[in-house]
Each structure stands twice: as C-alpha cells, then as structure tokens.
Chains A and B, each alone.
Chain A
Amino acid sequence: MYAFTYQRPTSLADAATAIQADEAKLLGGGQTLLPTLKQRLARPTDLIDLGAIPDLKGIREADGGLEIGAFTRHAEVAHSDLVKRVIPALASLAEGIGDRQVRNMGTMGGSIANADPSADYPSAVVALKATVTTDRRTIAGDDFFTGMFETALEPGEIVKAVRFSRPDKAAYAKFRNPASRYAIVGVFVARFGAEVRVAVTGAAGSVFRATAFETALAADFRAEALNGLSVKADGLNADIHASADYRAHLVTVMAKRAVEAAG
C-alpha cells in the first residue's frame, strides 16, 4: 500500500472540505478500497474515513419506508428489527453479502458508491424505488447507477443516506459465486400495488430493470407468469464463472425464485 494521509472528520461539512484535496478518497468500511490499495491499484493522497460522522449512521422509518444512513454496516441492516419488519427482503439481502466479517465492516454507502456490477445493494436501490441523498442533492435510484463502477455522483460528492420505499411484497434471489459470494446474477423483485419492479444485478455492467418481466408480473404475480420470458444475452457479462447465455438464463431462474419467495 502506498502512503497516504488519513483523516477522520466528525462532521459531514469537514468531510466535504477534506475530500476536495487532490486525489483524496472516501473510506467507508474499506472492504473493497483497502484490498485495492493493498494491491497498489490506486494511490490516493488522502483517505477520508467517514466512520466518525453521526449524520451518516442509523436506520429510521421515513415516509412509510426506511432511511438508512450511508455508514450503516451490512450486518446492522441484516440484524435490524426495523428493517426486518418494514422491508424484510432488504435484511435478507444484506445477510447474504460477502461473509460475516465483510458484513461487519462494509457499508451501504460504500457499496452503492463503488457500484460494483456484481454487488447486491444496487438491485434493492432500483427495485425499491429508492432515492439517494448526498451532501448536495437527492438522486433517484433509477438515475444513480450509470455504468460499470460508475454512478451519478460528482467528484467529492458524499452519499448521506438511502431512502427505500416499502413494497407490498419483495424478495431477492441470488446465484452467487461460491468463492467471492458476489452475485453472478441477483434479481430483486418488488411489488407496489399494481406496479412491479424487477432489478437485475451481476448480469451486466450495471444494474438494470427487466421491463418485460415487470409487465408480466404486474398482470400475474406468479413465477409461472415468467415462463418463456428471458433477457437478451447480448451485452451481458461473460467470464470464467458464467457465459452471457448462462447469465441470461439465470436472470429468469432467479426472478422466478424471487417471485416465489415474495409469496
């Protein structure tokens, strides 16, 4: 790891100032950033640790849904009685991220800001009609993820919280890489009255909605409604773990499992 200057601001305003430094990087739980630094794949001049900022922590009910602070660790989401009561699918998703030790460190804000194409949370952000609050503005979940490891965040913009809508029914089904536990394909299905959202992670460069699935499920919210439907393999990820065709196949399988789990 190259040398850097470490800062641990105690307010969002101080963090916003600190991140303006040349080549500064924000540090959440560090479960992606620290391995990256250890391999010398990045060379930030400053690391701004967000762990001491009270404004970034906590889980609250908001507008009938949930507002979760950016520096909330995966394990906190997984074990929160409030999350289990209001959006149990979100708690269950969090419980499936990485392993125990990663969940004890990794944060929601860090995960979505990193926008790994195989990360779990992006599917929840999109399927649960979330809004992302930053130190500057509010960004719709649909507009937040713009590409592989790319988001709508501007340089130095800090995620404060994510606000999730409460669905009538929801579930997340994931076909995971058994070694890394990342999603080879993960599908989050959420039903809000007559509207159904199906968000797919792991399959492409960035999370996307399977709109044909949504239409079918809005008419008939059963796994059978997806019979014969599939996403196109063109443009999907292909690697040593799964070809694009296989990922396309898995999207339908995981979507069906999610619908069944949602009940």
Chain B
Amino acid sequence: MSCTVSMTVNGKTVSREVEERTLLVTFLREHLGLTGTHVGCDTSQCGACVVHVDGRSVKSCTALAVQADGADVTTIEGLAAADGTLHPMQAAFREHHGLQCGFCTPGMVMSAVDLVRENPNPTEAEIREGLEGNICRCTGYHNIVKAVKAGADAMAGAQATPVAAE
C-alpha cells in the first residue's frame, strides 16, 4: 500500500509516492539520494541516522516517512552554507578530529547542533549526556566532546558577531 509523502528537506519541498511502511531514513537515502544520513545499527540505538524534524533531533530509522509528512527536515547535507562553508559544528569536528572512520559523524553532528540549540554553553558532562543516543566505535568520544564544545563556542560566536558589529 502506498501513499504520497511531502515534506521540506534541507529547504526544498519534496514529494514522493512511497509504501506506508517506508522509514524516514529510507526515504531520505533511497528515494531522495541523500546518503549522508547513515544506517548504523538499525535498532534505534546508535544514532548514525539522526536528522532534525521540525528542529528536533530524531532517529530517522525509528520514524516512518509518513510521520514526517508536512514537516521541515534537515539532514547533514543541509547544514553547510550554500557556498560550501561548513557549519561551525562541522568545522569544529574537522578541526578537533572528532572522528576516526567517520561513519557516526553525521549523526553526531546533528545531535550536537540540536543539543547546543537547547543549551548554548554545555559543560563536558552535559555534552556527554546529550550524546547518549549516539554511539562511536572508534574514538572513545574524547575528541567528539572537545569538538562539540568548540562547535558550541563557535555557534555562540557566530550569533554574537552581528550584534557586536552594530
């Protein structure tokens, strides 16, 4: 049984005919070709598939595409500026090498951006707690936590700049 699902993904309106059981991550990867969102465990634990739905981070392997019908979805592909300038959180992950193999990174970055939006100046403990839903099997998390802290500072700086210029 199929249905039409429409949503805004990274600022663009998309509409596709899909089976009702289609997961959001499948919709993004296979129907839209946005393969930056990864499928890690497929059991709702690892967080490699985290995207934002109406500004909230969710595991796209544990949501149906139809549940996001009408929603505003952002994936890792939607974070950087149109000219390719990395989002401050992406830049911080690169700068602090918050990754090794990189498989978990899209989910880590999306979770981190959501975390910082809610808590602009998180402590190390709050970062670690905030990343509970994301598993990395390479890094031991240390550089990820450093990257998120630096990314949070950079995001605060990016927001403060226009004010300071006035």
Contacts and interface: CB of A to CB of B under 8 A. Distances in A.
Given A30-B67, A35-B62, A49-B67, A100 B21 contact: no
Interface in B50-67: 50, 56-59, 62-64, 66-67
Nearest to A49: B67
Given A4-B1, A35-B43, A35-B44, A101 B66 contact: no
B132 A1 contact: no
Contacts, number: 77
Interface string A166-184: 0000000000000111000
By DSSP majority rule, is chain A's interface helix, strand, loop, or mixed? mixed
Given A3-B19, A4-B21, A104 B58 contact: yes
Give the size category of B's interface with A. 20 to 34
Given A99-B133, A102-B44, A104-B56, A2 B21 contact: yes
Contact of B50 (A1, A6, A27, A101): A101
A65 B45 CA distance: 34
Given A5-B20, A6-B66, A101 B1 contact: no
A179 B44 CA distance: 12
A105 B114 CA distance: 14
Interface in B1-45: 1, 3, 19-21, 23, 42-45
Nearest to B47: A101
B115 interface: yes
A67 to B, nearest CB: 23
Give the size category of A's interface with B. 20 to 34
B130 interface: yes
B1 A3 contact: yes
Nearest to B69: A8
Contacts of B132: 99-100, 181
Contacts of A75: 56
A202 interface: no
A105 B58 contact: yes
A31 interface: yes
Interface in B108-166: 111, 114-115, 118, 130, 132-133
Nearest to B53: A104
